[in-house]
Structure 1
């Protein structure tokens, strides 16, 4: 009786046979440079052109890191305030309630000579809004924008997911965390 192997019985051996390829078989073989011919000058190998580096990708504000510092809440006689910075004396951003006028002010410290009239661009997870601002004097100049306590733009500040960005012409963007101190000031002014 003659035995004829079936394909199913040979399949494992065929798979093993196919995997018997040495390392680097998929890489091109490096060939030695041709030997120089007598009497001919040897040309140096061409240097590869430098590869162009891709332009840096502009990162959206919500993916940038927040500025160093913390929010600090203070209840004051005229109304509550929340400041962001490394200390209260070094506040980069201040949200203040004026209970008498039922207005909330947003003051951003101006860096260098860039402070002046214009607008504060306030970016939240809801979108961007332009708040008219004026310069205020003092030891540290600020750009200050005012809103009525009932303004819905304040709700966007209070409920922004994660971060808030405050931008002004001629100033670097200021990105701060959206913490509960913001909501407390707004609620104190509405109450």
Structure 2
């Protein structure tokens, strides 16, 4: 009985470390990978603004709902399922390739202030290594103000 309790306690302690380790490893494993080809563009829209990286990732501010939407797209493949966003300070699995967050969500800060790049993976496409340029932060800030 005591051995079973110790085993359960050891597993409980190991689980968060394993989750953090795998989260960190996604970002770290992409460090030597070349950045995904493309650049950021920013534009005002009738409902807010959007920052788009090439034709594969968009950060959209909807001022009416005060939501920031992260959307992964692929012009050649229909993407579906969860996506993971990893920065140098945070990693989070999101329920789908189009996910809305509140403007004060800590993941958005992690994207905006990431050291040079962040990773978007999942949805059935290849992992993207996206540069952290000011356009992303600008669209996020539009929903905060």
TM-score grouping bracket, smaller chain normalisation: 0.7 to 0.9
Distance 1:75 1:168, change over 3 A: same
For structure 1, the residue ranges without an aligned partner over 5 or more in a row are 1-58, 86-90, 134-142
**Cα RMSD over matched residues?**
1.5
The answer on 1:112 being equivalent to 2:77 is: yes
Q: 2:138 aligns with which of 184, 187, 191?
A: 184
Q: 2:46 aligns with which of 64, 77, 81?
A: 77
- Structure number with higher helix proportion: 2
TM-score, structure 2 length as denominator?
0.75
SS at match of 2:56: strand
Q: Distance in 2 between matches of 1:62 and 1:82?
A: 23
For structure 2, the residue ranges without an aligned partner over 5 or more in a row are 1-27
Deviation string 1:139-174 (CA, Å, 9 cap, x unpaired) is: xxxx31111111111000100001111001421101
Counting matched residue pairs gives 117
Query: Match of 1:64?
Result: 33
Query: Match of 1:4?
Result: none
Q: Distance in 2 between matches of 1:127 and 1:61?
A: 14
Q: 2:111 aligns with which of 150, 157, 165?
A: 157
Q: Distance in 1 between matches of 2:57 and 2:123?
A: 16
Q: Distance in 2 between matches of 1:170 and 1:184?
A: 28
